[in-house]
Structure 1
Amino acid sequence: MAGPLIATKLYVPQLRRGLVARPRLLDRMRRGAGTRLTLVSAPAGFGKTTLLADWLTDAPGGDRCVAWLSVDASDSEPASFWTYVATALQGAVPAVGSAALDLIGTSPLPTELVLTTLLNDLADTPTEVWLVLDDYHLADNHDVGHGMAFLLEHLPPHVHVVLSTRANPDLPLARWRARGEMVEIRAADLRFTSDEAAAYLNEATGLRLTAGDVDVLEARTEGWIAALQLAALSIQGREDVGSFIARFAGTDRYIVDYLVEEVLAHQSEPVREFLLHSSILDRLTGPLCDAVVGRQDGSRQLAILERANLFLVPLDDSRQWYRYHHLFADVLRARLLSEQPELVPRLHERASRWFESHDLVQDAVRHALAARDFDRAVHLMELAAPAIRRDRQDPIMLGWLTLLPDDAVRRSPVLSVFYGYMLMVAGDHDAAEPRFDEAERAMAAVPDGEAPPWAKTEELRTLPATIAIYRASIAQARGDVTGTEEHARRALGLAGPDDHLARGGAAGFLGLAAWARGDVSRALATFTQAVASLHAGGNLVDELSSTAVLADMWLAAGRPSTARRLYEHALQVAQARGEPILRATPDLHVGLSELDLEAGDLAGAGRHLETAAAFDQRASMTESRYRWFVAMGRVAAAEGDPERALALLDQAERLYLRGFFPDVRPIAAIKARVWIAQGELSRAAGWAHDRGVAATDEATYLREFDHLTLVRLLLAQHRENPDPDALGQAVRLLARLRDAGTTSGRHGSLVEIQMLIALAQDAQGDRPQALRSLGDAWAQAPEPVGYARLFLDEGSALRELLRAADPGGLAGDHARRLLGLGAPVDDARESGATGSGRPAPSSADPLSERELQVLRLLDSELTGPQIARELFVTLNTLRSHTKRIFTKLEVTTRRAAVGRARERGLL
């Protein structure tokens, strides 16, 4: 969100004196402890908020944690809504919510990822947690509702949600009702009974009405608490109480109109004017009311209104901030619009200027929009644009832009470019380009010497270079390397010597273009310069996020130790600087997990991924979000859980958007490698056909990962059904790939290529040459000890070569190291593959080393979640391991598994 959060929205409202006791409702509320949802649904003025506050006061806290959020209209934007929800939960349970808050600033908002992290955090809390959302209807739309349904459907059993709303939310209530998972309190329940109405009218307000008068009011209002309150205010000081009550009739709408007329008619003109003019505000404080109403007694007036019970609700303990009862505010605004429509825009304009002067940009923009002062709104947005982009708060700007007339957006080059940028990062490149064209035409149309009608900002001055950078990004996303270079060079020409951010972006795309061409040496030099420019410009979020790209380039150059140093240094910087720099932390941990995985350290990889997940995979750039799922999928495959690996890779594919970075490791090819390792060769062959990859293709870097995957497929097919011709094609393709990589500094590629050459030569029956090629793989690697998973993933064929290596040579040293690490993933032949390529479960199957680790922890007092944390894996991964252990030991319970393991001498 732009600007600070409103802390008073997280306060539980205070109870007023004279509250009517309602034990029947409090008992209904307590029943929610056994359900996922308590729904309090009724029209305005039925006492929903008061009931919730009374319930929280009535029940001692104990081990219960309560997170409260008073929802308002600005929370209908999902980013704002989930920011406040996560903040409320964090206030109640400090260990919950920080990771989700880090993610929410991305565009488009990854709602399910945000909620998954919140749910994981909540699952780990030892106490009962209640999330109370008051006035939920103000935020209830399709996007928010979809996320709320997901949250409720996956709640841990000790977490409960309470929704207070004026209308039925768009949620699967029927399903939860049928399951007995919901407590409902409706208008019929909330209506005052005759006894409660009498207690209120006679005891709380001191009217001393007769039983007959109470019955009439209760019947005419149908127990509607707000109407009773309004009636009590109208009755105050009357001598003809009976006559007034006798005339009291009509529908709810007319009752409200009549009563408010009566209430307002009994106020002095200054009070009435204050009420009407301040009603445009969602929350009130003295100085703000002074600025809007044009008086100097705002704080005193608010205190008077509170004492007079004029529907003023305190929002904090110090009585500085208030709001009107929502129903009362609605009627006041309607009255203001009816009596003084010409004044409404001026009031909103005054509010906008006050909020601007107090650096509350979001409120300032909202009131400018309400005033329909679009020029002012545009001005404020232009001023806010640099900070919003720097802090990755793009969804806030997008929400503003959707409220502006399109012609107002198009008149501002800054906003047009920002709108185009957001379309671009969302993957809609065709819609983005016209916005850049319009911005360029608008700037070109200003005559020389004349001042443009836009805010004179740094953003405007550097806009031509920014547009060129965005065009380079679109060209890169489309695979147009030449176009990427042309636009990036144009951006460099437009940027001044001190325009570090523009120069950094332009140099970055030149480096990416070199990487896409496979020229790793030039890519490293250029992209390193780009990162230095980002540092000079103070854009640390992008600088640290770009570390992942630079580290990937060093991996392509065969220097994993350099990549690790980059990650570790960036992580130290991020931790030292704190927010908002910490939002780059997940990317850094994911990168370190990939290095650990390749080095054969599965436990280390798991630890980094768990740490990244605690930040909820908040990625500063759209293209980074999918990487956690790719890395976790590779770990799952290495742990012998291919089904989970493929599920994670499917999720990565759903998150992936073409954009800033070359797609050098396509997710589809990673999935194909999992299929090949499992013997699912027909599925892998389908991938090759759909991808259009063939052994006769030209050897280009952007297709290299696909080609190396194809070689693995051809080798696996040859092992099943020998085909010398196909094997020969694979060998020739590898030779072309080796020649291309040798001249471009891609030592990381050469290690993999040379290893596959060794496997192909062994498949041809030339084991001596295969062993020499295997030795060359390590001899050519600048840092051979950094590679383990690359070899281990090749299964039994490579292990045979490793065992045959000369113990006294270089290959023998590395062979012993790799064989010592072990290979948790057996190939299809060793695991007894069925005709479909899937391993056939058998009680004779030995337990893998990872499964033995799990088994030892099952023979302890640790719970499942505790075991998962001990192993640095998710609970789902632990369940997959446990299921396989049970299958192999032919048992169905944890105790039986431990007993059978002891019988077999495994423990």
Structure 2
Amino acid sequence: MVRRARLAERLDPGAGRRLTVVAAPAGYGKTTLLGTWAGTRERVGWLTLDERDNDPTRFLSSLIGALRQGSGEGELGQGVLAALRSPDVRHPDALIGALVNELARRPSTVDVVLDDYHVITGDAVHRVCAFLVERAPEQLHVVLSGRVDPPLPLARWRVRNELVRLGAADLAFTASEAAAFVRDVMRLDLPRPDLMRLHEKTEGWAAGLQIAALSLRGCANSAGFVESFSGRHRDVFDFLGEEVLDRQPADARRFLVETSILDHLSGPLCDAVTGRSDGQETLERLERENLFVVALDDERRWYRYHHLFADFLRARLGPERGELHVRASRWCEANGALPDAIGHAIAAADHDRAVDLIQRGTDDAWSRGEVPTVLGWIEALPADVVRDQPTLVLQQALALALTGKPDRAERLAASVGCEESVPAGFSAAVRSWCARLRGDLPSAIDLARQALALLPADRGGLRVFAADSLGDALWSLGDLPAAETALADAAAIGRDAGHVYGTLSALTLLARVQSERGRLGRAHATLLRAERYVLQQDMEASSATAAIHLGLAALRYERDDLDAAEEAFRTGVESAERTGNVTDLTWGLVGLSRLEHARHRTDAALGTAARAERVARDYGANPEAVVAAAWMVRLRLRRSELPEAAAAEQTLARHTEAGTPGAEIPGRLATARLLHARGRSRDALDQLRPLRDAAQTADRGRDLLEILVLQALAHAQASMPDEAAATLADAFGRAAPEHYVRTFVDEGPALAALLPRVPGSEELRAAFARQAAPPQAALVEPMTDRESDVLRLLAVGKNNREIAAELFVSVGTVKTHLNNLYRKLGAHSRTQAVARARALNLPSISTFR
């Protein structure tokens, strides 16, 4: 190695540095420089990119692997990795945001090198990288290395002094570095004049120096060679052929050319492609001879060619190219590398083989959530080949639907002939999904049922897709008994087919339907069943577990286990944030807001509720907007903010008028609550009577309980004590077997005053007694005003640098305040400090929105 201290100093991150870019043409020693520098750093993660990393799922997975490698923390990004396996994931920004937040909570710093970034051409990955750099915590230093400047906002970061760039002029070898390279690395004893001339001719280009030195071995006239050597790329390619490749033995030349089709080389794979048996020995020899072979692991099992050299070798390939790719495809298939097998089949233009492999590989890919990869495989085939394969057309349509392109997906699905049952059923399932995305629930139901009728029992992976769509649409329409039946069937279909995500989706939605029917015990059993299934599949950190956590949180809250409920709500919300699942996220935030209000953190509850409204609005999710607005009405009324409650009630009224699924009962309940708050109890009762009948008819047990409790309060307000007691007794009789608590306690003291007339309500009275005044903060030592400011910013996720900037102090001062906070709160981390402050209801946290 050539030590290049002048460059290593510039690579070391300075204060405020987010990014280092190393951009230069091939062969300028970028990787070698960074490798040498990395050896001097304490924590470095390294990711060498290739074209397949244009898939955001693969890129994020590999990035987390590199960060784990560098930080030494094997659990880092575990939740994000699980989210990436979900076929529902559509929001990479949400995932990278969750990863950034996790990094910010860890004390140790880490450098991460993304090498060969020039192979990234997809906008999605560029957006992910821009997001990562823009929001990088002070613990993270990103290094991008490639042949060209990445298409990122470099100018903005340079103006902010957040970027350092090393280009070709920086990386070019100085004369002394070139001399050290030729003498110490290439083991050549050239006269000084020849060294200086070679440096001049190559302009310090490391690959040119290496090429020249390889050819100079055994050359009698070094001065003549150096004088004739050209540093232009065209001349270098000519030279590679005439002076490097052609000087190798015939079997080595053949090996190099034939294996150039491989991005990564191993001995067995090379043997399969070349038909030889000395692949490992040849690779080791080529590496020893510095023949543009780079080892990718310490065990010397995998290698790659220098990219420039590989490009040159591939240009020497003739008609045998296709057969070589076919051999590589067969080896990859036999060794479990089906994605690589597909890539080689496509490169070989062996369309029959590619189609067969894709059809075999898509089920597993859907299960892993690699939807962009599947779409890339199919769209790499000629259009006429895809058109001749109805299953491929439908796979393409499914991928388009799952990536949020329902119009194109529906056109493709509708183009498939319906003469056979499986393609017809697959098409109907895809169109059902598209109808759900458009909000056309009747069509979604009809199409899902059509798909289930057409698809045979042995196509469980497709049937669960249709069954989930059916159950979801029925639930959205409010037909809870039919939805419960459909989702139970979907869970069974998914389990029998081994389709993990389809099964979990069905089970978690089934539990939600059972809760809405008032069957808390059955919902709890379903969620525990889902938990066991997750453990059996070794997918504890799966993104699909967000709904499990939130379902269990809601049940624990209803039964007044607030500590366990808060932990589960926060875990579920974090998971939903990673996946960008608007339904789970909205429900989770509303549940968390209810809990915060129950714990007298009233301002925090309002902030969380407002966030739930923003999430639903930003996603354009009307059913979720109904959930958020209905809770906002109740919260505003509890805060005695009638004008704001009325505004939220009008939002619900607009959704009801527009026919938003699930809006009618919450809207009318909100109206009744507002009438009751204004003292118009008889008008409220007029609203509630038909609503009670509708809830009973629809078997909406949870809504019915709320209606009965509100009726009891309105009767009491209207001086009708007997009616109030009878109605409350009816509600209690329905609720007691399922152990409802918070549905009653959350109505406050007015309801507590009615309980003495209800037999058997002692448990509820005890729960009301526990709902006492807010706990008082108890610290071993009072916080200073500045420590309160730091805690407030800590609670909203600011890192040390951001806190320092906002408070106009140094990062060192922030760290001092943090250490004092940890001591006073009895905490050992940021997360513990915030949790402890919340438990103590400290003002810095309770006013956080």
Q: Give the TM-score category using the shorter length.
A: 0.7 to 0.9
8 Å contact 1:285–1:298 — kept in the other structure? yes
Correspondence 1:553 to 2:517: no
Contact 2:655 2:663 in 1 (8 A): no
Normalized against structure 2, the TM-score is what?
Answer: 0.84
Aligned residue for 2:251? 270
The residue number in structure 1 matching 2:781 is none
Q: For structure 1, which segment, 761-770 or 733-742, has the greater mean C-alpha deviation from structure 2 after superposition?
A: 761-770
Structure 2 match to 1:753? 707
C-alpha deviation, 1:704, in angstroms:
1.9
Do the aligned partners of residues 427 and 685 (structure 1) sit closer, same or farther apart at CA in structure 2, a change above 3 Å counting? farther
- The equivalent position to 2:96 in structure 1, one of 115, 130, 146, is 115
Do 1:102 and 1:618's aligned partners in 2 also have CA atoms closer than 8 Å? no
Look up the match of 1:164. Answer: 145
| Paired AA for residue 391 in structure 2 | V
Aligned equivalents of 1:371 and 1:345: distance in 2? 4
Q: Which residue of 2 aligns with 1:541?
A: 501
Task: Give the superposition deviation at 1:687.
Answer: 5.5
- What residue number does 2:134 align with? 153
- Name the structure 2 match of 1:400: 377
Partner of 1:79: 57
Q: 1:629–1:649: 8 Å Cα contact kept in structure 2?
A: no
CA offsets 1:257-303 (integer angstroms, 9 cap, x no match) = 44554322322333223222221211111222233234343223222
Kept after mapping to 2: 8 A contact 1:699/1:733: no
Q: 1:187 to 1:669 in 2, by over 3 A?
A: farther
Q: What SS class does the counterpart of residue 50 from structure 1 fall into?
A: helix
Alignment-derived partner of residue 693 in structure 2 = 739
Q: 638, 645, 649: which one pairs with 2:609?
A: 645
The answer to whether the Cα contact below 8 Å between 2:549 and 2:568 also exists between their aligned partners in 1 is yes
Which residue among 641, 660, 664 is the counterpart of 1:703? 664
Q: Which residue of 1 aligns with 2:488?
A: 528
In the TM superposition, residue 101 of structure 1 has moved relative to its aligned partner by: 0.8
Structure 1 residue 776, shift from structure 2 partner: 3.6
Change (3 A) 1:109 1:153: same
Structure 1 contact 87–101 (Cα < 8 Å) conserved = no
Pair 1:574-2:534 in alignment: yes
Paired amino acid for 1:84? S
Candidates 546, 551, 556, aligned match of 1:586? 546
| Higher mean C-alpha deviation, range 420-429 or range 374-383 | 420-429
* 1:367-387 deviation per Cα after TM superposition (whole angstroms, max 9, x unaligned): 222233333322211111222
Contact 1:501 1:539 in 2 (8 A): yes
Could you say which residue in structure 2 is the equivalent of 1:314?
295
Structure 1 residues 353-362 or 93-102, which shifts more? 353-362
- State whether structure 2 residue 336 is matched by structure 1 residue 356: no
Structure 1 distance, partners of 2:429, 2:437, is: 12
Deviation at 1:363, TM superposition (A): 1.0
Residue 52 to residue 634, structure 1, CA distance change in 2 (3 Å)? farther
Between 81-90 and 255-264, report the one with greater CA deviation. Answer: 255-264
Contact kept, 8 Å, 1:70 with 1:134, in 2: the verdict is: yes
Which of 74, 91, 109 is matched with 1:94 structurally?
74
For residues 125 and 104 of structure 2, the distance between their equivalents in structure 1, rounded to whole angstroms, comes to 22
The one-letter amino acid paired with 1:814 is L
Q: Are 1:43 and 2:6 matched, yes or no?
A: no
* Equivalent residue runs for 1:798-809 within 5 Å: 798-803=748-753, 805-806=755-756, 809=759
Residues 100 and 216 of structure 1: is their aligned pair in 2 closer, same or farther, counting only changes over 3 Å? same
SS in 2 for 1:589: helix
> In structure 2, how many angstroms separate the alpha carbons of the residues matched to 1:524 and 1:350?
51
Give the share of equivalent positions with the same residue, in percent: 35
749, 753, 768: which one pairs with 1:818? Answer: 768
Report the residue type matching 1:778 in the other structure: F
Secondary structure of the residue that 1:440 maps to in structure 2?
coil
What are the Cα deviations for residues 783-814 of structure 1, in whole angstroms up to 9, with x where unaligned? Answer: 464241x45555xxx43342454377456753
SS of 1:68's equivalent in the other structure is strand
Distance 1:884 1:379, change over 3 A: closer
| Structure 1 residue identity aligned to 2:321 | V
Q: Tell me whether 1:467 sits opposite 2:391 in the alignment.
A: no
Change (3 A) 1:367 1:784: closer
Check 1:169–1:672 CA distance in 2 against 1; reply closer, same or farther (3 A cut): farther
Tell me if the contact between 1:630 and 1:649 (Cα under 8 Å) persists in the aligned partners. Answer: no
Equivalent in 493, 503, 518 of residue 453 of structure 2: 493
C-alpha contact 2:629 2:651 (8 A) present in aligned 1: no
Superposed, which structure 2 residues align to 1:446-845 within 5 Å?
A: 462-478=422-438, 480=440, 482-496=442-456, 500=460, 511-512=471-472, 514-516=474-476, 518-579=478-539, 582-612=542-572, 624=584, 627-632=587-592, 634-635=594-595, 639-640=601-602, 641=604, 642-654=606-618, 666-670=627-631, 674=635, 692-693=653-654, 703-716=664-677, 718=678, 730-761=684-715, 769-770=723-724, 772-781=726-735, 783=737, 785-788=739-742, 790-791=743-744, 798-803=748-753, 805-806=755-756, 809=759, 814-822=764-772
- Whether the aligned pair in 2 keeps the contact of 1:344 and 1:371 (CA below 8 Å) is yes
Code of the residue aligned with 2:224 in structure 1: it is S
Per-residue CA shift, 1:595-627, capped at 9, x if unaligned?
Answer: 223334332222123444676766698865665
Secondary structure at the residue paired with 1:553? helix
Give the conservation status (yes or no) of the 8 Å contact 1:391–1:580: no
Q: Aligned to 1:237, which of 202, 218, 233? A: 218
Q: CA deviation at 1:26?
A: 2.3
The structure-2 alpha-carbon separation of the partners of 1:262 and 1:709, relative to structure 1 and needing over 3 Å to count, comes to farther
Measured after TM superposition, the shift of residue 176 of structure 1 is 3.4
SS at match of 1:69: strand
Amino acid at match of 1:78: P
**1:448 aligns to what?**
none
Match of 2:355 in 1: 378
* C-alpha distance in 2 between matches for 1:170 and 1:286: 37
> Are residues 700 and 629 of structure 1, via their aligned partners in 2, closer, same or farther at CA, if it must alter by over 3 Å?
closer
User: Where do 5+ consecutive residues of structure 1 fail to align?
Assistant: 1-18, 445-460, 826-849, 851-856, 888-907
Q: Deviations over 1:100-119 (max 9, x none)?
A: 11111334532122223322
Relative to 1, partners in 2 of residues 1:55 and 1:429: Cα closer, same or farther, differing over 3 Å? closer
Please, which moves more after superposition, 745-754 or 647-656? 647-656
The answer on whether the counterparts of 2:741 and 2:764 sit within 8 Å (CA) in structure 1 is no
Secondary structure in 2 matching 1:786: coil
In structure 2, distance between residues paired with 1:627 and 1:464: 35
* 1:282 corresponds to: 263
Go from structure 1 to structure 2 and tell me whether the alpha carbon gap of 1:514 and 1:25 turns closer, same or farther (over 3 Å shift).
Answer: closer
Cα shift at 1:183:
3.8
Give the drift of 1:863. Answer: 7.1
| Amino acid across the alignment from 2:508 | A
Q: 2:414 aligns with which of 433, 437, 443?
A: 437
CA distance in 1, matches of 2:413, 2:507: 28
Counterpart of 2:152 in 1: which secondary structure?
coil
Distance (whole Å) between structure 2 residues aligned to residue 53 and residue 252 of structure 1: 25
- 1:526, CA displacement in angstroms? 4.2
Aligned CA distance change for structure 1 residues 767 and 429 (closer, same or farther; 3 Å): farther
Root-mean-square deviation (CA, aligned residues, Å) is: 3.8
**Which amino acid letter does the alignment assign opposite residue 768 of structure 2?**
L
Partners of 2:671 and 2:209 lie apart in 1 by 77
Work out which of the residue numbers 286, 301, 306 in structure 1 matches 2:282. Answer: 301
The 3-state SS of whatever aligns with 2:39 is: helix
How far apart, CA to CA, are the structure 2 residues paired with 1:823 and 1:505? 49
- The residue type equivalent to 1:368 in the other structure is A
TM-score, reference length from structure 1: 0.79
Cα separation, partners in 2 of 1:351 and 1:695, compared to 1, 3 Å? closer
Q: Structure 2 CA distance, aligned partners of 1:189 and 1:319? A: 31
CA separation in 1, counterparts of 2:292 and 2:821?
Answer: 59
Report the alpha carbon displacement of residue 571 of structure 1 after superposing the two structures with TM.
1.1
Superposed CA deviations along residues 442-500 of structure 1, whole A, max 9, x for unmatched, are x55xxxxxxxxxxxxxxxx8443333334444445555554444334433433445655
Distance 1:861 1:327, change over 3 A: farther
